[in-house]
């Protein structure tokens, strides 16, 4: 980490604005916030200078679904794991994130929440935490993916009200909306300001529509562990994927690592949904930033053995993907190179759009005066040069 200073001027950068690029701009930062954004070289007397040397200057990347990285998983349940993951992803441009759980028993979820609370009381040394994302345990067994089947169950008010009363840090909860009690659960989450998201689901179209009308406005890792067109008694029925396309107000998140979704699907999603409804997420497990080979999904002692190869985590029998090892810079690169997205659109999908989904777009996600100084600098190949978080520069 560079020495901290209260006053920065970033000069000679290509500034990524929501709908255009300023080819040579200046950004002034003071006490952790952006003070001004200028076209051209506008110097600020008394400020320390960061010469961007023509690099792109972007709002910090926001990852709303991430499990781990650098050899650690949030389910390890220690502040050290939380901080190590935050540092690893900051080096790849992530300035804020939602630490995400896996399906577990009640005590396992509470232990992870306690670890989050402890970790949040200390500086992370990397990406900031925006709250917790609970993924499961209320899923469709047939769409569990690599989630542990012994913990999958229906939403139980006795359980989830206990969890909700345990902490105010939960910002999002991923649920299969067709599970018994899931619609009422969605209403409760929405009333508490928590985002319900459809995930690991076998819901048909009408069930997805009912869920949407009761607060489920986001689709977790679109396409992955999710129903599409099915056939019953010779008749075809639309699923959650089709609901995602047909309803403009439904947001989708995608694991844009180039493996979970091939180029044609990435292009289709962009064509139909557009950058304002797509959030790029890593969904990264502990193998992110680590060499290929054996790894563990979830808790270090109780998790699922996996193997990392071909840029993704797989079950040991290679029958299914078991998680992503992506970092945020890879997501942006993939959207440009595979999906053919303009740079500004690719960046919007990991800055302004996730900020809006979480309701924090009044303070992060843009290069704007008054916003927090979460800034990423990268070159033409989306190689991160520096990451600034609340005005502190990390390399």
Query: For position 49, which CATH number holds?
Result: 2.30.40.10
Say if residue 2's pLDDT is above 70. no
**Count of CB atoms situated within 10 Å of the CB of 24:** 15
322 and 232 within one domain: yes
Distance CA 372, CA 380 (A): 25
Distance CA 66, CA 302 (A): 19
152 and 272 within one domain: yes
342 and 266 within one domain: yes
Q: Which residues pair with 61 in a beta bridge?
A: 94
108 and 54 within one domain: no
Please check whether residue 363 lies inside any domain of the structure.
no
Please check whether residue 365 lies inside any domain of the structure.
no
Please check whether residue 2 lies inside any domain of the structure.
no
- Domain count of the fold of the chain: 2
- Residue 154 makes CB contacts below 8 A (sequence gap 6+) with 138, 179, 180, 181, 182
Distance CA 66, CA 253 (A): 12
Please check whether residue 364 lies inside any domain of the structure.
no
If we measure between CA atoms, which residue out of 277, 256, 261 comes closest to residue 224?
261
How do 56-59 and 375-378 pair as beta strands? antiparallel
The two structure tokens encoding residue 219: 């689709």
Print the domain residue range for 150: 61-358
The predicted model gives 198-222 an average pLDDT of 98
Asked if omega into 137 is within 30° of 0 (cis), the reply is yes
Given this model, what pLDDT does residue 19 score?
A: 82
Please check whether residue 204 lies inside any domain of the structure.
yes
Query: For position 257, which CATH number holds?
Result: 3.20.20.140
Please check whether residue 30 lies inside any domain of the structure.
yes
77 and 39 within one domain: no
3-class DSSP state of 176: coil
Contact criterion met (CB below 8 Å) for 93 and 282: no
341 and 353 within one domain: yes
- Which residue blocks in the chain are alpha helix, DSSP H? 79-90, 106-120, 157-166, 182-191, 205-213, 240-246, 263-273, 328-337, 343-348, 352-358
52 and 77 within one domain: no
Please check whether residue 272 lies inside any domain of the structure.
yes
The predicted model gives 2-16 an average pLDDT of 82
331 and 198 within one domain: yes
Q: Give per-residue pLDDT as tens, 74-96.
A: 999 999 999 999 999 999 999 99
80 and 46 within one domain: no
Q: Give per-residue pLDDT as tens, 133-172.
A: 999 999 999 998 888 889 999 999 999 999 999 999 999 9
The two structure tokens encoding residue 149: 């089947």
Distance CA 271, CA 365 (A): 22
Distance CA 277, CA 268 (A): 13
Please check whether residue 92 lies inside any domain of the structure.
yes
315 and 240 within one domain: yes
What residue has token string 């979970």? Answer: 260
Given this model, what pLDDT does residue 109 score?
A: 95
Say if residue 3's pLDDT is above 50. no
Say if residue 200's pLDDT is above 80. yes
281 and 171 within one domain: yes
Distance CA 97, CA 87 (A): 11
Q: Give per-residue pLDDT as tens, 364-390.
A: 999 999 999 999 999 999 999 999 999
167 and 46 within one domain: no
């Amino acid at each position: 980490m560079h020495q901290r200073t209260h006053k920065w001027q970033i000069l000679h950068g290509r500034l990524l604005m929501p709908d255009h690029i300023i080819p040579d701009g200046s950004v002034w930062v003071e006490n952790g916030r952006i003070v001004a954004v200028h076209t051209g070289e506008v110097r600020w007397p008394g400020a320390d200078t960061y010469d961007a040397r023509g690099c792109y200057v972007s709002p910090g990347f926001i990852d709303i679904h991430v499990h781990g990285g650098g050899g650690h998983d949030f389910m390890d349940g220690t502040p050290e794991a939380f901080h190590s993951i935050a540092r690893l992803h900051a080096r790849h441009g992530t300035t804020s994130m939602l630490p995400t759980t896996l399906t577990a028993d009640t005590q396992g979820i509470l232990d992870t929440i306690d670890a989050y609370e402890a970790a949040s009381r200390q500086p992370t040394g990397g990406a900031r935490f925006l709250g917790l994302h609970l993924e499961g345990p209320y899923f469709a067994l047939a769409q569990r993916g690599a989630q542990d089947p012994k913990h999958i169950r229906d939403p139980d008010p006795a359980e989830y009200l206990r969890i909700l009363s345990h902490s105010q840090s939960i910002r999002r909860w991923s649920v299969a909306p067709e599970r018994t009690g899931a619609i009422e659960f969605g209403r409760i989450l929405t009333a508490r300001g928590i985002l319900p998201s459809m995930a690991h689901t076998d819901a048909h179209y009408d069930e997805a529509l009912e869920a949407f009308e009761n607060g489920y406005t986001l689709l977790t890792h679109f396409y992955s562990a999710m129903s599409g067109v099915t056939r019953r008694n010779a008749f075809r029925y639309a699923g959650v994927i089709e609901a995602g396309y047909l309803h403009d107000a439904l947001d989708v998140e995608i694991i844009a690592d180039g493996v979970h979704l091939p180029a044609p699907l990435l292009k289709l999603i962009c064509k139909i949904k557009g950058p304002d409804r797509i959030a790029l997420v890593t969904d990264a497990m502990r193998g992110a930033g680590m060499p290929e080979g054996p790894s563990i999904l979830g808790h270090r002692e109780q998790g699922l053995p996996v193997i990392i190869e071909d840029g993704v985590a797989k079950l040991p029998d290679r029958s299914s993907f078991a998680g992503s090892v992506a970092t945020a810079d890879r997501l942006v690169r993939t959207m440009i190179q595979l999906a053919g997205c303009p740079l500004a659109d690719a960046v919007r999908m990991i800055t302004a759009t996730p900020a809006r989904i979480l309701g924090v777009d009044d303070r992060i996600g843009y290069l704007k005066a008054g916003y927090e100084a979460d800034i990423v600098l990268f070159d033409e190949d989306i190689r991160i040069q520096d990451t600034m978080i609340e005005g502190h520069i990390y390399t």
